[in-house]
Structure 1
Amino acid sequence: MASLTPARALVLLTSGLTCLLAATAGLIGALLSGAGAALAAAACAAGAGAVGALLVRRRALAGFAAAQRQAGARGYAEGLAHGVLVQVAAYEAAVFPRSGPSGVTPEERAARRTLAYRMAALDEVSESVRKAAADVLAVLDRADRMLAEEAMTQLAAVVRKEYVRL
């Protein structure tokens, strides 16, 4: 069976409504005037339903496409915000390694710092996430653990708020 895409669901819905409209008109025509009137009423109602379905289809599919584009944009923005959070957290792990000061090489720390700064500087990242990431990166460059934890908490809250708002 074919998957139920929005276009297929729309076709099934409008054809079902057209059939229901034709059957209702046929029953009303049969009750009021007999078989001939029932057939004429059903044919007219089916034609009107088909024309209405065709008119609605274009608008509905345009709405589906717009909603899909908006969902894609929201997902992209959310992914970027989370990417900034991940890269900044990776840099934090390099600044404050759990395995001791010899756990991360200076080259690895510099690479993580570069990635975190590049990710936070992307144009597509929202201004609030960019500012919170800049605050964290500045604190991490000073290697202040207490302020870094507070700034990371703030960045995580901004990222969470950002994608909930989207």
Structure 2
Amino acid sequence: MTTLTPARALVLLWSGITCLVVVAGGVLGALLGGWTASVLAGLSAGAVCLTGSVFVRRRVMTRFAVAEQEAMARGYAEGLSHGLLAVVAQYEAAVFPMSAGGVTAEERLARRGAAYRIAAEAALPTPVRVAAAAALAALDEADPRRSRDAIGRLFSAVNPGTGGSAE
């Protein structure tokens, strides 16, 4: 079965509408003037409907394209925000390891670099970028309380509908 894209859906919709308009024109023509008027009314109504569909299709497809681009941008920014949250959590685990000597200095620097690279992405929403900067600054200072609060604010910025922190 063929995938139902917006363009295909629009063609199917206008095909159905055109068929209905042809039938309605034919019925109206038959009621008003017989078979000849029925055929002429049906064909002319169908031609007008097809002409209108050409003009409408161009406008609708432009709107579909704009809406698709906006949705892609929102999805990319949301995915990037969640990725940032995960990388900051990994950096937090490197700053405050569960056991002494559990993380090497190289691993900590690698996780820090990854967190800073993602936090510098231009596609991130401003509230997420600001919260990430605060969280990374707190982690760089290795202040557990301030880091926990800043990461909670980052979680709330990434997931605005939750209303709480990550705890």
- Normalising by structure 2, we get a TM-score of 0.90
Between the aligned partners of 1:51 and 1:123, the Cα distance in structure 2 is: 44
Paired residues for 1:1-166 under 5 Å:
1-98=1-98, 100-161=99-160
Structure 1, gaps ≥5 residues long: none
Between the aligned partners of 1:125 and 1:6, the Cα distance in structure 2 is: 29
Q: Secondary structure of 1:102's match?
A: coil
Between the aligned partners of 1:9 and 1:121, the Cα distance in structure 2 is: 40
- Return the offset for 1:4: 0.6
- Return the offset for 1:146: 2.1
Aligned length: 161
- Normalising by structure 1, we get a TM-score of 0.91
Between the aligned partners of 2:42 and 2:125, the Cα distance in structure 1 is: 56
Measured against aligned partners, the alpha-carbon deviations of 1:80-129 in whole angstroms (never above 9, x if no partner) come to 2222212111100111223x122111110111111111221223323221
Higher relative contact order (CA 8 A, sep 6+): 1
Name the one with the larger helix percent.
1
Measured against aligned partners, the alpha-carbon deviations of 1:8-61 in whole angstroms (never above 9, x if no partner) come to 000000010010011011111112221111111101101001101111111111
Moved over 3 A (4+): none
Q: What amino acid is aligned across from residue 9 of structure 2 in structure 1? A: A
Q: What amino acid is aligned across from residue 158 of structure 2 in structure 1? A: V
Structure 2, gaps ≥5 residues long: 162-167
Alpha-carbon RMSD across the aligned residues, in angstroms, is: 1.5
